[in-house]
Amino acid sequence: MRDLGVGFTYLVRGQRWVARHGRQYGFGLLPGLITLVLYAAALVALALWGADFVAWATPFADDWSSPWPGLFRGFLTAVLFGLGLLLSVLTFTAATLLIGQPFYENLSEKVDRDVSPDGTAPESGLPLARELWISARDSLRILVRAALWGVLLFALGFVPVVGQTVVPVIGVVVTGFFLTEELTAVALQRRRVELRDRLAMLRSRKTLVWGFGTPLGLAFLVPFVAVFLMPGAVAGATLMARDLLGEETRDGDRGRDPEGDGYQDGYQDEVPAP
């Protein structure tokens, strides 16, 4: 259970890192803002026309006596919107990372350089187009897995009691796992770690993953929060990736400024008095 606290610590450290690196944080906000606008438009459309879709899909309820058609369709409409919200949470990170690949790649490299004992960051050596293709391909594979989980949880939501108690908890845990996979992928893809190996690595440290991803998934349920947490989440996931691979890391809270040669927030090496 100790890994739960360690995972959450990485999330906090990532937010602290971007708080000290304002330029990286500002650039990291742009992809999230673009994705938020697109997803918000989709959810608004679902809210406006979801009831019409449910009525079209359930013609057999037209012959039911009142008030059962309205109650039944109202319930399905609420469940449909809930499924849309769940899928938006599951896929928001993948879509944002795909849109902001160059931004987050650069941010992750800066974190690696900042906390690496020798001040270097691993590089994939692949052309940008190839990196984008691999990222899109892997994201699609993860989205398929997330969608299958979403459909399964949607179906289980109809089970009395369990659907209203256990299923939401499972949904948050599953969301946290997929969020962590997508976020750590930014750093792990630069290290040429394949998707299958990444999943095996994360499954071997489930409590660490849940400690990082579950609170992040809960926070992402709050409108706009995901946009502001994404840069720090990428930074924290980079630190976690180093842990998963057993890479040596110096104190990331007292790192060098990757934008220059100085130090952050007044931190500097102690120099003996002459």
What's residue 67's pLDDT? Answer: 86
CB 223 within 8 A of CB 169: no
What's residue 266's pLDDT? Answer: 33
Under 8 Å CB-to-CB from 16, ≥6 apart: which residues? 232, 253
CB 136 within 8 A of CB 98: yes
CB 34 within 8 A of CB 227: no
What is the C-alpha separation between 213 and 181, in angstroms, rounded?
9
Give the pTM: 0.73
Burial group, residue 120, by CB count within 10 angstroms (0-12, 13-18, 19+): exposed
Q: For each of the chain's 274 residues, which pLDDT tens digit applies?
A: 677 888 899 999 999 999 998 888 888 888 888 988 998 898 899 889 988 888 898 888 888 888 888 888 888 888 888 888 877 876 777 788 778 878 888 899 999 999 988 888 888 777 777 877 887 888 788 878 877 887 888 788 778 887 778 888 888 888 889 889 989 998 998 898 988 999 999 999 889 999 999 999 888 777 678 788 989 999 999 999 999 988 887 754 443 333 443 333 333 333 333 3
* Nearest by Cα to 172 from 141, 203, 156, 150: 150
What's residue 69's pLDDT? Answer: 84
* The three-state (H, E, C) secondary structure of 131-173, written as one string: HHHHHHHHHHHHHHHHHHHHHHHHHHCCCCCHHHHHHHHHHHH
What is the C-alpha separation between 253 and 264, in angstroms, rounded?
9
* Lookup result for tokens 């057999």: 60
What's residue 14's pLDDT? Answer: 93
Domain ranges within the chain, ordered by starting residue: 2-250
What's residue 272's pLDDT? Answer: 33
- 3-class SS at 63? helix
